[in-house]
Amino acid sequence: MYSERLIITAQEKELPDLVLKNGRIINVFTGEILNGDVAVTDGIIVGIGSYSGKREEDLEGRYVVPGFINAHLHVESSMVTPAVYAMEELRHGTTTIITDPHEIVNVGGTDALEDILKAAQASPVNYYVMLPSCVPSTPFEHSGAELKAQDLIRYKNNSHVLGLAEMMNSVGVIENDKIVSEKLSAFSDMIIDGHAPMLTGKQLNAYVCGGIDTDHESVTFEEAVEKLRCGVALLIRDGSASKNLEIIVKGIVERNISVSRIAFCTDDKHLADIRKEGTIQSNIRKAIHLGLSPVKAIQIATINAAVIYGLKHIGAVACGYKADMVVLDDLEDVRIHSVFKDGIPIDEIAQPRQVSYNSKLLNSVNPAPLPENAFEIPERKEYSVIGIVKNQIMTKHIKMTHQEVTEGMKNGSVRKIAVIERHHATGNFACAYITGYGLKHGAVGTTVAHDSHNIIVLGDNDNDMHMAVEELKRINGGYTIISDGKTEGSLPLELGGLMSMKNADEFIPMLDSIIKKAYDLGVDPDIDPFITLSFTALPVIPEIRITDCGLFDVEKFAFLD
């Protein structure tokens, strides 16, 4: 960071490379809005005040804010590669991302992790990685890989690595599980992200004592405040399926809670939604419209995240900080005029090169042949049924009689759901009932199935469900919709069954098209057809899930009979 040239140009003994003239600058340290110029040399801000430069741009009173920081996300959930994703984030003012690549690492192990770290090196954004802590998320499913502490330690000194990603195995932390404890101990000198949905009281206290620094899973204001009181940094999430921002920000405004330990994140947001509204740009706008002051919202989106993750020289428009800046036409609507990364306008930044990905990731859909009766469910007096919750990824454990399930299958309120192991052709599969999805007829299938990413298929008839599995094998993973034995639409995600190698302009219309087809076939318009489906297999979020090993009660942390 130290440079004689920075000191010289800060004094204007030599002209800075760039000066943004006549701006209204948000100072995230004092909460003030200051009038002045911003001087930049070698990608670093060297002065705020009155400056001349080799290159000048008159902002005509527009607002200058730090580049936004997305504090927790999975690039894989955008369904495009890191190179494509980074450029889309930049368009919407996000210049720093903190990623957990556990989706692709669950498929490809350390080979996939190394590919992601190569992509981080080539990225035009500040691309930081949290090393996946739970591959797989629990021992109650089969993933493509298993990572232990010794597999992760060798990446600690990588310049793009900040710490250990979300520790989803909260039971393992609380019960001092040996494998979990080894990971927590190995990364106790770095940031450790949490994942503690609905954890409270002494269990939450014990979880935090495991060294947990952050959490992004709060769905109520009360849950969020309890975690803040425990010293956990709160990451407020607003993505494609999980929308927790409104209820938490309303509580913050009503109770005048300090925001100093709060940052914004998206967790899982697909590219079409990002193209429409951005990521952190959208979070800021929503928070302001809910009554949070614009300056506080900007602080949450910038300096707070930088401090939480120990990122020096990022997150402020101030001397010695990276010249990552967003110029706004309007502060309250967060309307972007221009974005600068390291002092360079983003329209002058070339699309980063695609890294060469491991060949195993391009041939990752390998299920065993399914028996003809795979989707038959034995008759019982009472069934445990997965209940979808709108705008959330949590589910409800619903009990239904045989008659209620039969009627539900007829009227469309109940459907079958199955998970099929696809990494090692083990032959593992499980089938159950689900309600709240809304499909009229046919089957929807995907290889995006958090976090082990087996095949999920949902439908009202066995034939279409079988065909959906075969279609996913044919396209090497992705999304598919089948009706009456006909493929209504497929979206190949050939990289690990999670990401497309296409660019954004090619990919987004394909994604929009298949989502529209899902809604046309009756999927509830208040849920995302594929992201909602993908989370039904994650056995660490209450209340009930399905893995390739069976129906799982998350609250009891055990399989249902």
189 in the same domain as 89: yes
285 in the same domain as 163: yes
280 in the same domain as 403: no
391 in the same domain as 243: no
Residue type for position 257: I
In whole angstroms, give the CA distance from residue 433 to residue 297.
42
For the segment 186-201, the average pLDDT, to the nearest whole number, is 97
Element (H, E) at 424: none
515 in the same domain as 411: yes
pLDDT grade, residue 286 (50/70/90)? very high
Q: Which carries the bigger pLDDT value, residue 416 or residue 240?
A: 416
pLDDT grade, residue 473 (50/70/90)? very high
Instruction: Give the pLDDT of residue 312.
Output: 96
Check whether 351 has a pLDDT greater than 90.
Answer: no
Domain boundary among 260, 290, 320: 290
Mean pLDDT of the chain: 96
For the segment 278-298, the average pLDDT, to the nearest whole number, is 98
Q: How many CA atoms lie within 13 A of 108 on its CB side?
A: 24
Cα–Cα distances in angstroms (integers) from residue 430 to residues 434, 540, 545, 550, in the given order: 13, 18, 11, 5
Share of the chain above pLDDT 90, in %: 93
Instruction: Give the pLDDT of residue 391.
Output: 80
Instruction: Give the pLDDT of residue 465.
Output: 98
Enclosing domain of residue 236: 72-290
Pair 445, 467: CB distance under 8 Å: no
HEC profile of 85-120: HHHHHHHCCEEEEEECCHHHHHHHHHHHHHHHHHHH
Check whether 393 has a pLDDT greater than 90.
Answer: no
For the segment 35-47, the average pLDDT, to the nearest whole number, is 98
382 in the same domain as 280: no
Check whether 1 has a pLDDT greater than 80.
Answer: no
Q: Name, in order, each residue with C-beta under 8 angstroms of 532's C-beta and a sequence gap of 6 or more.
A: 241, 388, 393, 437
378 in the same domain as 239: no
pLDDT grade, residue 505 (50/70/90)? very high
> Are β-strands 94-99 and 126-131 bridged in parallel, bridged antiparallel, or unpaired?
parallel
Q: Per DSSP, what are the bridge partners of residue 9?
A: none
399 in the same domain as 252: no
Instruction: Give the pLDDT of residue 522.
Output: 96
- In a domain, residue 1? The reply is no
Total tally of structural domains belonging to the chain: 2
Check whether 242 has a pLDDT greater than 90.
Answer: no
- In a domain, residue 172? The reply is yes
Instruction: Give the pLDDT of residue 392.
Output: 82
pLDDT grade, residue 241 (50/70/90)? confident
Lowest mean pLDDT among 16-20, 106-110, 270-274, 351-355: 351-355
- In a domain, residue 471? The reply is yes
235 in the same domain as 368: no
Instruction: Give the pLDDT of residue 352.
Output: 86
| Three-class secondary structure of residue 169 per DSSP | coil
CATH number, domain with residue 146:
3.20.20.140
- In a domain, residue 9? The reply is no
Lowest mean pLDDT among 139-143, 172-176, 372-376, 430-434: 139-143
pLDDT grade, residue 134 (50/70/90)? very high
Check whether 561 has a pLDDT greater than 80.
Answer: no
- In a domain, residue 19? The reply is no
For the segment 56-69, the average pLDDT, to the nearest whole number, is 98
- In a domain, residue 402? The reply is yes
In whole angstroms, give the CA distance from residue 28 to residue 26.
6
For the segment 340-367, the average pLDDT, to the nearest whole number, is 92
Domain boundary among 272, 290, 308: 290
For the segment 183-187, the average pLDDT, to the nearest whole number, is 98
- In a domain, residue 175? The reply is yes
| Three-class secondary structure of residue 190 per DSSP | coil
Pair 208, 234: CB distance under 8 Å: no
For the segment 48-56, the average pLDDT, to the nearest whole number, is 98
- Nearest one of 292, 285, 280, 215 to 249, comparing CA atoms: 292
Check whether 138 has a pLDDT greater than 90.
Answer: no
- Nearest one of 199, 146, 147 to 170, comparing CA atoms: 199
Considering only the C-alpha atoms of the chain, give the largest distance between any 2 of them, rounded to a whole number of Å: 84
In whole angstroms, give the CA distance from residue 170 to residue 361.
29
113 in the same domain as 245: yes
For the segment 232-236, the average pLDDT, to the nearest whole number, is 98
Instruction: Give the pLDDT of residue 354.
Output: 84
First to last CA, the chain: 60
Instruction: Give the pLDDT of residue 159.
Output: 97
Instruction: Give the pLDDT of residue 24.
Output: 98
- In a domain, residue 200? The reply is yes
Strands of 214-215's sheet in order across = 68-73, 94-99, 126-131, 161-167, 191-194, 214-215, 233-237, 262-265
| Three-class secondary structure of residue 512 per DSSP | helix
Domain boundary among 273, 290, 307: 290
422 in the same domain as 275: no
Check whether 390 has a pLDDT greater than 90.
Answer: no
129 in the same domain as 247: yes
